[in-house]
Structure formats: C-alpha cells, structure tokens
Amino acid sequence: MSLKLTILGCHSATPRVNANPTAQFLEIKNHNFLIDCGEGTQVQLRRFGIKFSKIKHIFISHLHGDHFFGLVGLISTFRLLNRESELHVYGPIGIKEAITLQLKISNSWTQYPLIFHELSSKKSELIFEDSKVEVFTIPLDHRVYTNGFLFKEKVGERKLNMSTIKNVDEIEICDYQNLKNGKDFILNNGNIIKNNELTLEPNTPKSYAFCSDTSYFPPIIDIIKEVNCLYHESTFLKDKESLAYTTKHATASQAASIAKQAKVKQLIIGHYSGRYKNIEDFKTEAQEIFENTYLAETGKVFEIF
Amino acid sequence: MSLKLTILGCHSATPRVNANPTAQFLEIKNHNFLIDCGEGTQVQLRRFGIKFSKIKHIFISHLHGDHFFGLVGLISTFRLLNRESELHVYGPIGIKEAITLQLKISNSWTQYPLIFHELSSKKSELIFEDSKVEVFTIPLDHRVYTNGFLFKEKVGERKLNMSTIKNVDEIEICDYQNLKNGKDFILNNGNIIKNNELTLEPNTPKSYAFCSDTSYFPPIIDIIKEVNCLYHESTFLKDKESLAYTTKHATASQAASIAKQAKVKQLIIGHYSGRYKNIEDFKTEAQEIFENTYLAETGKVFEIF
C-alpha cells in the first residue's frame, strides 16, 4: 500500500477565503496522522470526508497560530462526539498548558484520555514507534522552537514467492507466517530450503518528511536523505529572499535546493505568502533546481508509491 | 440611520461545512461591534467584506469554544496587518489569561494596545458608553458564566424643523447646533422662540439585545423590554425541551415566549443544533407564539429601523 497525504490547508498566516492555514492528513500503514492544525482544520476534515475517529496522533510543528489555533477546537469536538479512545498530541513545550487552560475555563475537560508529548530537544529524536512505523523529529530553524517530522515505514515482512512454494507439497498455509518472517523451511527428510528461495524481498519502506516552518537550513539534509516525499515550506519566491531570511522562512528555490541535496524522490511545496497571486510561479522557480516538484493545494491528495 | 446586523455564524458547536459557529457584526451609530467569535470568524469577516480595521470592540458572551475559539486568531491577524489602534475585548474573567498565554507561547505579542475588560458580575452592568451608544450586560443562565449584551442608542439630537426655521430670518446656520441641542432661540428684540417650535423630536433610539447561550431565563425580560430586535438562542425544538433544560439551552418556543413577554419588536433565532435538518421548523415553532420571528442564517443582514 502507498502512503497517502491529503492537504487540508497550505497557506501562510493571513486569513483569506479558501486559503486555509497548514494542516495535513497522512495515511501510512494502518495509521492516520494529523500534521499541524491551523484554524478551521476540523471543518476541512469534514469537507474532505475524513472520519474524526481515525485520528489518534496529532503532530504540531510549532506554536504559531496558523499551525495550531485549530487544535483546541478539534479536541473539544472530539469531546462532543463522545470520543473514548486516547488522543496523543506531540508538540513544543507549552502546548499542554495552552490547550488545557482553554478546556478548563470552558469547563469542558475531555472524557477521553488526552496525552501530550511535549518536545524541547534540539536534536532529532524518535517520538513514536510501533511494529510498522517510526516518527522522528526534524529540528528546524524558525522564529520559535519548531520541529518537522519524519514518518518512516519499518521494513515489512518478506513476500511469499508462490511460484516456488507451489512446488513444495509439504508447505501448508500455516507455514506462511514463518516464511514471511524469514525462516528457512525444514522438509520431513531433514533437508532445508533456504528462505530466499521461497520468498521475495519485502516492499521498500516508504518515508515522508514534513518541514514547515523553516528558513533554508541545511542541517536537515542528513535527516531527510532520500525520503520518498518531502514537504518543504516555500513562503516566498527568490525575489523576497532577504525577507525570507529575516522572517526565517524559505523561498521556492531554497526548498528545491534542500530537496536536491537530500536526493529526495519528490518535493511538495506550500505555505505560500498571500502576497503572491499565482502559485504556479512557486513551481516554476523550484523546478529550475528540482524537477519533480509539486504544488500543495487545498484538497489535493498525493499518493506516494 | 438604522442598526445593521450581519450574521457571520449561527450554528451550535459541532463543526460542519457551511455551518459556522456564533459570531455577529453589529453596526450601530458610528460603531462596529463584533459579538462572539467562534472558530473561523476571521474568514467569515473576509467573506462578507468587512474591514478588519473597523472592529475596535469585541464582546464575548462566554468561554465555550464555539463562541470564542476564533478570537486568538483574529487578534493575531490584527498583529500581522500592523494594526495600531486599540482593541477592547469584553468577556468573562479568564479570557485574558487564555488569550495572552497563547500570544506568549507563539512569541507574537500585539504591537497594538489590547485591552481586556473582564466580567464577573451576576447583575446587569454598563460596560461601554460614549455620547451615542451604551452597552449593558444581560446575565444569562448557561453551564458556564455567560452574559448577553444590550446595545442601546442614546437619545439623539433634536431634528431641525426647516419649515418653521425658514420663516425666521435671524436664524443662521451657526445656530443650528444649539437648536439641535434643545436650546430656545432669542430674537434681537429679546423675544424667545421655544425650541419645540423650531425642532422635531429626535429619532427614537434603537436597541439590540443578544442573548446566547442561555436556558429559558425570565429574569432577562426586564432588561430587554421593548428592544427593537432580540437575538435569542434556540438550540432545540420543543421536542427536546428536557434536553434543553439539562444542557441549559432554549427551544424555539421558549425564545419566542421571552420575546413576547418582553414585548420586543422583532425576534431573530439561531444557534441551531446540528440534529435538525430543516431550520424552517424553528421558525414555524416560534411563530406560533411570536409572529415577527426571523431565522439567523450565515451571511444574512438584518437592518433594524
């Protein structure tokens, strides 16, 4: 199965009609991750038919409003919908106090377990792991403490090679899981068939890196090396490179340069400043450096194979 | 000039596409007041072409999310737009801490004066006054501390009666303001012309009462007596009267009953629960008790003469 990324919002802070702030919904293995949660994200989830109950983990990059002002509303709505399952929120230190204070004054504490994982390290760290997926932080360079997130599938099971298995009568369906796990097969006569004769290499694990907001920051290159897909903010075009520098944002060229240096397979850019009328200009600029660039657009779905 | 009320959102808490939570924009005399500020209000202001810089006073009824989760975003946007003028926020005690904490952690304190007027009284009180307008709280009965707001024009200047003034040669344009202020006119020969011979009664001051969220709460009747227009929440129809009672909301019938007892001239109902598919049912139910009832709908403008 591929990774599936739905763009719920991809514009920078100033509010406009039909220009939602940052939020993304990532489906990877059996997980459904929400990444950032600008104001109005819960309505965007509704608009694109995403079931609220699917979301068990929310990752917040930083505490600027256009990346987290929608979080408290979503948490409150989960309460109204009688959610029972745990919700895990990963974000910068301070996020817990900001959210819980609002729940307290509105006298609407959640009836479901709301678990905050507050981040403060300036080094990349593993913040989520199960048998299939790992999530690492990507320390970024912005005006406040900010992390991107690297979502990585783990190496999966080996795949059954039915064209060889069918020739071995002694192999039964109940043996399949051992084969997928890499075990050799021992025949009744004691002979051994090596696992790699009966199985194929597992699917190559896929990976997605989310990097927003950030200045042009080469230290991330090692962390995101060769990911299948990189989302990198590009608030400005290169005509505003000095403004990008002072506000700690990136230009389309800079995002493309990071993608090229990290040898990623695909780049998505977004977080466009409202000053630009035609977002196609971002793509044009980025593609001069990194050809396989796509524009984030609200509602767009990227399937990452 | 009439009062002008624009409905920016009029639905209850559960988010849906095209069902914005409570926010209203009131134009009265030379003032532009924002009343409540649910999530997404700033985009609604944009949608209906309301200039952000017009808003100098925001009134928040209570600290449930569907009435104030959009406030911090709007305050932040004012900052991005380089606002310089004062912004006054009137709302329940606790609102200042909730907003300022979020501004602090996002390292984005406003460069304009942001002044909170925290409310805690359970009695109606005057919270804003200038030469033309007064605003009073209307203590309501809800699950958390809640106030409605009564917006009242003051009695204006007397109107010049040009049909009599034109017969008095000695009256010049520079005398008009004194006449408007109610002064008699003294002729050169010492004779006095009574003011009421030269002027007409001023326009009757208009008034608007906003009451949401609240249970059926008769103590408000004295405060809102004979207002030109009453907005009263009606979350439910009478089939859910017991649910209205336990959640401290009102039914359409109860809203209409309050309107009738208070002898208001016009009733607007809103804050509809998402469980009802056809909001016309609210109007039908209310009109059985109070004929002059209108439905709040997003984007609808009420001119109150």
CA distance B206 to B186: 33
Query: Is beta strand B23-28 parallel, antiparallel or unpaired with respect to B3-9?
Result: antiparallel
Which percentage of chain B shows pLDDT scores above 70?
Answer: 100
For residue B48, what is the domain's CATH number?
A: 3.60.15.10
Per the listing, tokens 């981040």 go with A119
pLDDT in single tens digits along all 305 residues of chain A:
679 999 999 998 777 777 899 999 999 998 999 999 999 999 999 999 999 999 999 999 999 999 999 999 999 999 999 999 999 999 999 999 999 999 999 888 999 999 999 999 999 999 999 999 999 999 999 999 999 999 999 998 899 999 999 999 999 999 999 999 999 999 999 999 999 999 999 988 999 999 999 999 999 999 999 999 999 999 999 999 999 999 999 999 999 999 999 999 999 999 999 899 999 999 999 999 999 999 999 999 999 87
Instruction: Please answer yes or no on whether B15 and A101 come within 8 Å at the CB atom.
Output: no
Average pLDDT over residues B137-151: 97
**Same domain membership, residue A151 and residue A178:** no
**Same domain membership, residue B169 and residue B102:** no
Q: What is the pLDDT of residue A1?
A: 62
Which residues, other chains included, contact B283 with Cβ-Cβ below 8 Å and sequence gap of 6+?
B252, B269, B293, B294, B295
Q: B33: helix, coil or strand? A: strand
Query: Is beta strand A293-295 parallel, antiparallel or unpaired with respect to A207-211?
Result: unpaired
* A209/chain B closest Cα distance in angstroms: 23
**Same domain membership, residue A254 and residue A176:** no
B175 cis-preceded (ω within 30 degrees of 0): no
B192-205 per-position pLDDT tens digit: 999 999 999 998 89
CA distance A252 to A199: 44
CA distance B138 to B220: 7
B83-124 per-position pLDDT tens digit: 999 999 999 999 999 999 999 998 889 999 999 999 999 999
**Same domain membership, residue A129 and residue A30:** yes
Contact A299, A7 (CB under 8 A): yes
Q: How much is the mean pLDDT over chain B?
A: 95
**Same domain membership, residue A170 and residue A152:** no
B46: which chain A residues are within 8 Å (Cβ-Cβ)? 15-17
Q: Considering only residues 52 to 111 of chain A, which have any Cβ-Cβ distance to chain B shorter than 8 Å?
A: 63-65, 69-70, 72-73, 76-77, 80-81, 92, 94-95, 97-98, 101-102, 105-108
**Same domain membership, residue B210 and residue B180:** no
Which of B15, B42, B64 faces A43 most closely, judged by CB atoms? B15
Q: What is the pLDDT of residue B1?
A: 62
What's the number of domains chain A is made of?
2
Closest residue on chain B to A107 (Cα): B144
Q: What is the pLDDT of residue B146?
A: 98
| A194 contact B CB<8A | no
| B47 contact A CB<8A | yes
**Same domain membership, residue B125 and residue B144:** yes
User: ipTM of the predicted structure?
Assistant: 0.88
Instruction: State the sign of the Cα–Cα–Cα–Cα dihedral B63, B67, B70, B76.
Output: negative
* A108/chain B closest Cα distance in angstroms: 8
Give the residue from A143, A171, A200 where a domain finishes: A200
Q: Which of the residues A20, A44, A69 would you substitute to probe the B interface, choosing the one with the greatest number of B C-beta atoms within 10 Å?
A: A69
**Same domain membership, residue A58 and residue A125:** yes
Which of A46, A73, A143 faces B107 most closely, judged by CB atoms? A143
**Calculated CA dihedral for residues B173, B175, B179, B185, nearest 10 degrees:** -130
Average pLDDT over residues B289-303: 97
**Same domain membership, residue B24 and residue B59:** yes
CA distance A207 to A56: 19
**Same domain membership, residue B132 and residue B38:** yes
pTM, full prediction = 0.90
**Same domain membership, residue A123 and residue A262:** yes
Edge-to-edge strand ranges of the sheet holding B87-92 = B114-119, B87-92, B57-59, B31-35, B23-28, B3-9, B301-304
CA distance B188 to B238: 69
Which of B65, B92, B101 faces A101 most closely, judged by CB atoms? B101
Both structure tokens of A302: 């990227």
Secondary structure, 3-state, A147-210: EEEEEEECCCCCEECHHHHCCCCCCCHHHHHHHHCCCCEECCCCCEECHHHHEECCCCCCEEEE
**One-letter amino acid for residue B209 of the chain:** A
DSSP state of A305: -
**Same domain membership, residue B71 and residue B10:** yes
A65: which chain B residues are within 8 Å (Cβ-Cβ)? 72-73, 76, 102, 106, 108
**Rg (alpha carbons) of chain B, rounded to whole number:** 22
* B92/chain A closest Cα distance in angstroms: 9
Give the residue from B144, B172, B200 where a domain finishes: B200
**Rg (alpha carbons) of chain A, rounded to whole number:** 22
Closest residue on chain B to A108 (Cα): B64
Burial class (CB in 10 A: 0-12, 13-18, 19+), A274: middle
CA distance A127 to A147: 11
Look up A239 and say whether it is catalytic: no
Average pLDDT over residues B218-237: 98
Per the listing, tokens 């008790």 go with B289
B213 Rama class: left (phi>0) / alpha (psi -120 to 50) / beta: beta
| A144 contact B CB<8A | yes
Output the CA–CA distances (angstroms, integers) from residue B140 to A172, B121, B127, B145, B233, in the order listed.
72, 11, 16, 8, 11
Contact A144, A62 (CB under 8 A): yes
User: What is the domain range of residue B96?
Assistant: 3-156+203-304
